Structure 1
């Protein structure tokens, strides 16, 4: 028996292949949008992919379960409550899948969603591992507030938090201490708030270190779990519904993106997403462009700033990055929204250079916009007279920004303020200067200025 863990570092997502070496068969769990790594893995072992298990309809990435089924004939397994549109085999509480000497058992573990399952792997007469999806993470458990308005089954966060309390204690904590925990996400995901950087653990270790498995009343658990959760990107609900339907073929979606050598004329009504480094962007960009910098969080911020269904141009600094970003855009199901993609070297609009020394001595002469998340702003104030509008809400709340003074935009480290300042500049840039404080924000301490 072999368990192979795959990681999408950009979305902090883990997927798995369970291999029966004696039968040369594989079952996948929570696969990413691009199925090629799983096909290559199967070829390595000369094995056949016979099944794909979805622990729940994911909100933060698009799964390739339907494409794998259509390509290999593998059976898709999911809880019957999921209400899917694709052909599947129900995998409800107590159901089992046997292949070779391996047995996979379904546990219904609602909490992150009403239809969440965890999968216990039984081998050589004992439980060896549990694939916990978004129910139990290393150091945390799944957030309960993503199904209040999406999916076929909707539930209030308090109700799901109560279910999570029981799923953890009545199902997962009853497994043997030596059972290995394999979650669907690691540190960096927005599906939880305090995940460890570790990619696996054991039930016993989590009983000791994971806050959600400690002894407490259900009331205290619900309060803790529903407090200070991260923001919810715009694309999350879209991905839940897309995963319930099943996404189209990955490579076909990529090939359909209209890649231009050089755009002759752009539609001024269509948003331009410019992924070049902020310094290159500021030196010259296209009118109205938003600077979502090429980096580890590109797809998260793309899906937080651009709403599902909104067409946009995608541009990058070179062809290699452009192709990578098209694929990463597809990982959240946004490839069909790309009007066209192209490489940009410069543009006609220039962002003014931040007058840092004058700002330090005269902060009252500026309107300061803090684009950090609300929780961040509450915990650590950087400038006393600042207006907090989280980056994911900025386009919708742009009219709340006063236009009487020059505007300075900041975040915690510089990447979000690049996007925020470009959004604000698209609205105010012709009237008043808009500046990005950028990485200089690190020079300001945590005391209020």
Structure 2
């Protein structure tokens, strides 16, 4: 069967493309739809359907633009109530894509409209299942997101529905089916997903904790809900955009690709109160940046950290990027619903410096300098990695303030004594450093290379959870 997984690492997201006899379908597309249109053009095919496994929380889907540009029909599973024209399929309904068939299997649990699509080839053989956020490789979808949109859908209720869906709809299917999930490791839609992005259903029945044959519903609910972290604040906003509709990406790009001179950029920031978002790498940002700007580098998990650190998707944004990276930044912002980019600094940060405008820098130290500080004194060390990373191993005496909790825990960062900041590799700690600089902290340094470099030294480390660690 001709199926292609189109994987986007920044969001740990997988879309799928199938084609047969000049007819194609796309499953769970991202916001920018040109790659799917180009793929269909290569096959001389028409995209007949856009299948959605559910109303997504972690990205804005491209289904509406595909309908507009390719004339595709949008298909949701049972119970979906979008505010635009779409097919709400019935459980068991069959759709034809050339000589292929796509069978709707309603699998509520992650959300109530969540649906798995069974792929059947031209010979009538069942090939695989596109599972959305119902079943991942090594995990299953978290059941606590829908309650942020519909309050009576508690996580316990949804977890119960998910147990029934897995046992009654998924596990009875053939072991040789290939599982095609919507996400891989790094997504916030699960807690322990594998780095692998496909597997056989038979192997998942053996290794996936949530598919144990002897597991009771009570055990499933308890294990599924244990260890869930708070979902990013932008998730409910993206769900509503996917339900209600959104502005075309073309219009957003036209509006956002406004190039500002340094003078005009500063005036726009002052007049609008827009957030100045600097997307350069940490090392370049540290050497010089516009005062009050926030650093979230394009080369990391950019969209996810934007969603974590900027609570309102409607916040107006002004961009500082490397020249030539402006459209990429705007596109990746819009993937997660941040559609109010006003424009960018023409020529990047160098143009700001050449114009003689003021800038700041962030102090950084090497791991050797960190070792010397540890031997000469007892510095306060603040580790901004996730709690699970910190618990696995950390510098003795360090305090853990996970980056996504920094705004709620600014009191943990002293202004009356210096401190040392680090994460795993320097990406997240520079986000933290930029936020602290914006809020008035100056007496701190960031460790270049973070814990990845610290781990190579003889600096004392511990797996003991420090009593001052934030839960």
User: Is the pair's TM-score, using the shorter chain for normalization, greater than 0.5?
Assistant: yes
Q: Deviations over 1:66-121 (max 9, x none)?
A: 11112222111112422211101111312221243222111111121121000112
Aligned to 2:469: none
Aligned to 1:16: 16
Q: Deviations over 1:225-282 (max 9, x none)?
A: 1122344222211111111123322222112104325321243543221111222212
Q: Deviations over 1:201-235 (max 9, x none)?
A: 22112112222111322222222211223442222
Aligned to 2:237: 238
Q: How far off is 1:312 after superposition?
A: 2.3
Residue 390 (structure 1) aligned with residue 402 (structure 2): yes
| 1:11-410 matches, cutoff 5 A | 11-21=11-21, 24-123=22-121, 124-150=123-149, 152=150, 155-215=153-213, 216-264=215-263, 265-266=266-267, 267-268=269-270, 269-308=273-312, 309-316=314-321, 318-334=322-338, 336-342=339-345, 343-345=348-350, 346=353, 348-354=359-365, 356-357=370-371, 359-361=373-375, 364-366=378-380, 368-386=381-399, 388-410=400-422
CA 1:325–1:128: 2 relative to 1, 3 Å: same
Secondary structure of the residue aligned to 2:439 is: helix
Say which of 404, 418, 422 aligns to 2:434. Answer: 422
Query: In the alignment, is the contact (CA less than 8 A) between 1:231 and 1:373 conserved in 2?
Result: no
Q: How far off is 1:358 after superposition?
A: 5.1
TM-score (structure 1 length as normaliser): 0.91
Moved over 4 A (4+): none
Tell me which moved more, 409-418 or 372-381. Answer: 372-381
Query: In the alignment, is the contact (CA less than 8 A) between 2:48 and 2:71 conserved in 1?
Result: yes
CA RMSD of aligned residues (A): 2.2
Unaligned runs of 5+ residues in structure 2 are 467-471
| Number of aligned residue pairs | 440
CA 1:282–1:91: 2 relative to 1, 3 Å: same
Q: How far off is 1:168 after superposition?
A: 1.1
Query: In the alignment, is the contact (CA less than 8 A) between 1:415 and 1:438 conserved in 2?
Result: no
Aligned to 2:445: 435
> Matches of 2:193 and 2:169 in 1, distance apart?
21
Unaligned runs of 5+ residues in structure 1 are none
> Matches of 2:319 and 2:233 in 1, distance apart?
18
Query: In the alignment, is the contact (CA less than 8 A) between 1:287 and 1:349 conserved in 2?
Result: yes
Query: In the alignment, is the contact (CA less than 8 A) between 1:32 and 1:331 conserved in 2?
Result: yes
Query: In the alignment, is the contact (CA less than 8 A) between 2:118 and 2:126 conserved in 1?
Result: yes
CA 1:125–1:181: 2 relative to 1, 3 Å: same
> Matches of 1:184 and 1:129 in 2, distance apart?
13
Q: How far off is 1:130 after superposition?
A: 1.0
Query: In the alignment, is the contact (CA less than 8 A) between 1:63 and 1:246 conserved in 2?
Result: no
> Matches of 1:88 and 1:168 in 2, distance apart?
26
